[in-house]
Amino acid sequence: MDGVALLTVFVLAAFVGYEVISKVSSTLHTPLMSGSNAISGIVLVGTVIIASVAESAVAVTLALVAVALASVNLVGGFLVTDRMLQMFRRRS
Amino acid sequence: MTGDSGTALAYLLVAVCFIVALKGLSSPRTARVGNAVGAAGAVLAVVVILLVERPDRLLAVLAAMVVGGAVGAVAARRVVMTAMPQMVAVFNGVGGAAGATIAALEMVEGTPDTGRLAVAAFTVLIGAVAFSGSMVAFARLQELMSGRPLIYPGARWVFGLALAATVAAGVWLPWGGPTWLVGALVGLSLGLGVLFVLPVGGADVPIVISLLNAFSGITVAASGYVLENTLLIVAGTLVGASGTLLTRLMAKAMGRPVTNILFGAFAGGSTLGGGAETDRPVRSASAEDVAILLGYARKVIMAPGYGLAVAQAQHALRDLAGELERRGIEVSYAIHPVAGRMPGHMNVLLAEADVPYDKLKEMDSVNPEFKTADVALVVGANDVVNPAARSAPGSPIYGMPILAADEAKSIVFLKRSLRPGFAGIENELLHDPKTTLLFGDAKDSLGKLVTSVKSL
């Protein structure tokens, strides 16, 4: 994919992100931060790609460490967000 | 490298899942389902990548995923809600580190063109800053190191030089710089992150966390560009937008420009004051007196601050609210955006204490209500109700939007002592004739109030 196509994706995503996030309830700003943080854990996909093409032993090791770190972010992020969101209840 | 169109379609679906997850957060009703959709998207992405890439190191990759996932799951389950800012800081940090590693390895072993090399250098820089900066922020919040801004002679010059060296390395690399420069860039960027966060102290750390959140998102988006992976670009950009917006909201809630918060300490303008006790007269009362004031009110607004969480008194506050409601009194909670240690933190702390979310009112919607409130009960808060923010142009908090507690018919402060708050400024409201102080630990005082209201 060429640079311009990637740039297009980036710019459009920035607009969508701004629109969606400016509508987030301020009550939920902490879950927004942990939830968006979980989404950035999808960098796991990138670490798996790099782990499969790495050549030297050092590079493979580093890539596997990155896989583990991204997994912490992805799994922990979604779970902790869910834990917080289940506490928000309406008047009973 | 993005593989066939099937993979691309799957990525598109995952990106939509992430947008749905964020959209769900527009209301607490839909938020949990949204988060589950986001998680499902993440699972799909991971399955696809494991199938498509067919790494000959599948077992090693899976093992690393299991280890990391287990660590994340345990941390997510164990963390206490008051420690959420530290938790988010760590997650930001590891995400940034992962993105920086991708870019660094691609620079060393891949064959990117100049443009992609430039983006890779940028990814390493910002990802490493997100990592080391987050670790310092974590140490601060976890009280492994002092919360005071760390200023040393020439801090401005050290930071400036480090920044210049880092940028120089980042610019040289794509234009034929030697491979060892990648290592130098990593080291310099890590140092830069530390230098960046050290001078930011105490109450300003939440802003830094929001900003590092944005940095980790930008890292992921940039690493997506390096790998030509649209999913990483979309996901990272969404996070970058979220972090940027939250940073600006927090700065607005503090009434200060972001640059002042981040670099104010360099200029010697830290807002952390000394905190001496005042000897001006105040009116204090017993729990029984305050209970009468509350028990015969029609409308009470609670204004909780972080002191409430420090005293672990959220449940006691909820109990008092319940007791007042049983007497037919209208109770709501006024939440200042910087009441906690990160954006929206106080809402989570009160939700954990079973306060229904429809009683949590944000500043702009609750402020007009103070005029008709009989009692404003301020617990563990100080600066966010200090009228000096409106009336004293010389005050460090001047310009910060505050809760209009001073407009209530009477004001009750639950305070440990007369020590000023974080900003170290005297609060005129404490000496107002309408104000009553109840001294003591917030949890004890609230417990006594519950008992006294019950026996009215």
For the domain covering B287-454, report its CATH number: 3.40.50.1220
Are B25 and A25 in contact (CB < 8 Å)? yes
Q: Quick one: pLDDT at residue B206?
A: 82
Which residues in chain A have their CB less than 8 angstroms from residue B94's CB?
Answer: 69-70, 72-73
Closest Cα in chain B, distance from residue A14 (Å): 6
Q: How confident is the model at residue B54 (pLDDT cuts 50, 70, 90)?
A: confident
- Give me the sheet containing B435-439, strands edge to edge: B360-362, B330-335, B299-304, B375-379, B410-415, B435-439
Q: A79 to chain B: nearest residue by CA?
A: B76
How far is B238 from B20, CA to CA, in rounded Å?
A: 12
Known active-site residue B383: yes
Pairwise CA distance, residues B333 & B362, whole Å: 8
CB distance B347–A89 less than 8 Å? no
Tokens for B48, please give them: 């696809």
Q: Which of B204, B319, B383, B406 is catalytic?
A: B383
pLDDT digits (tens, 9 = 90+) for A26-48: 899 999 999 999 999 999 999 99
Average pLDDT estimate for B212-229:
95
Crossing angle of helices B230-254 and B5-24, rounded to 10°: 20
d(CA B215, CA B429): 39
Does an H or E element contain A68, and which?
Answer: helix A57-85
**Could you tell me the two tokens for B443?**
């949890």
Q: Are B421 and B427 in contact (CB under 8 A)?
A: yes
| Entry pTM | 0.91
pLDDT of residue B272: 46
**pLDDT at B134 > cutoff 70:** yes
Q: Which two tokens stand for residue B320?
A: 């008092």
Determine the residue of chain B that is closest to A36 in CA distance.
B239
Tokens in use for A55?
């050549």
d(CA B238, CA B21): 11
Distance, CA of B289 to CA of B295 (rounded, Å): 10
B352-375 confidence digits (pLDDT tens): 999 999 999 999 999 999 999 999
Contact A39 B228 (CB under 8 A): no
B248 or B418: which leads in pLDDT = B248
In total, the C-beta contacts within 8 angstroms joining chain A to chain B are 363
Q: What is the pLDDT of residues B371-397, one digit of tens each?
A: 999 999 999 888 889 998 888 888 878
Reference B437, options B318, B278, B271; nearest CA is: B278
Q: To the nearest whole number, what is the mean pLDDT of chain B?
A: 90
- Whole-angstrom Cα distance, residue B388 to residue B156? 31
Q: Which of B91, B245, B344 lies at the smallest CB-CB distance from A37?
A: B91
More confident residue, B189 or B418: B189
Question: B3: pLDDT confidence band, cut at 50, 70 and 90?
Answer: low
CA angle B141, B144, B147 (to 5 degrees): 50
Main-chain dihedrals φ then ψ at residue B394, nearest 5 degrees: -85, -10
Q: What is the pLDDT, as a whole number, of residue B111? A: 78
Distances (CA, A) of B64 to B76, B106, B135, B249, B342: 18, 20, 22, 37, 31
Q: Is the pLDDT of residue B421 over 70?
A: no
**pLDDT value at residue B274:** 45
- Which residues on A lie below 8 Å from B219 (Cβ)? 40, 43
The model's confidence at residue B164, banded by pLDDT at 50, 70 and 90, is very high
Per-residue pLDDT band for B408 (boundaries 50, 70, 90) equals very high
Among candidates B261, B128, B266, which has minimal Cα distance to B184? B128
CA distance A71 to B71: 9
Predicted local confidence at residue B99, as pLDDT: 97
Closest-CA residue to B329 (of B375, B289, B381): B375
Per DSSP bridges, beta strands B435-439 and B410-415 are parallel
pLDDT for the residue numbered B273: 45
Question: Which of B75, B213, B356 is facing A89, going by the closest CB pair?
Answer: B356
Q: Where in chain B is the domain with CATH 3.40.50.1220?
A: 287-454
Which tokens belong to B276?
């001496």
Q: Tell me the β-bridge partners of B413.
A: B378, B437
pLDDT of residue B177: 82
pLDDT at B280: 76
Write the pLDDT tens digit of every residue in B240-292.
999 999 999 888 888 888 888 777 766 654 444 444 556 678 899 999 999 99
Closest partner residue to A72 (CB to CB) among B49, B68, B213 is B68
User: How confident is the model at residue B278, as a pLDDT?
Assistant: 61
Q: Is B324 exposed, middle or buried (0-12, 13-18, 19+ CB in 10 A)?
A: buried
- DSSP assignment of B397-425 equals TTT-----GGGSSEEEEEESSS---TT--
Residues whose CB is less than 8 angstroms from the CB of residue B233 and which lie 6 or more positions away in sequence, other chains included: A6, A9, A10, A13, B221, B224, B225
Model pLDDT for residues B326-343, shown as the tens digit of each residue:
999 999 999 998 888 888
Residue B146's pLDDT is what?
Answer: 78
End-to-end CA distance of chain A: 53
Instruction: Give me the pLDDT at residue B143, please.
Output: 84
Question: What are the sequence ranges of the domains in chain A?
Answer: 27-86
pLDDT tens figures, A43-91: 999 999 999 989 899 999 999 999 999 999 999 999 999 999 999 988 7
Query: Which of B38, B76, B209 has the CB atom closest to A80's CB atom?
Result: B76
Q: Coil, strand or helix: which one is B142?
A: coil
Cα B328 to Cα B241, B296, B304, B377, distances in angstroms: 44, 10, 21, 17
The pLDDT value recorded for residue B443 is: 93
Average pLDDT, stretch B158-181?
89
pLDDT for the residue numbered B270: 44
Q: What is the CA radius of gyration of chain B?
A: 25
CB B31 within 8 A of CB B24: yes
In a 13 Å sphere around the CA of B102, the CA atoms on its Cβ side amount to 38
Q: Stretch B111-131: mean pLDDT, rounded?
A: 92
ipTM summary value: 0.96
Q: Per the structure block, which two tokens stand in for B413?
A: 């402060």
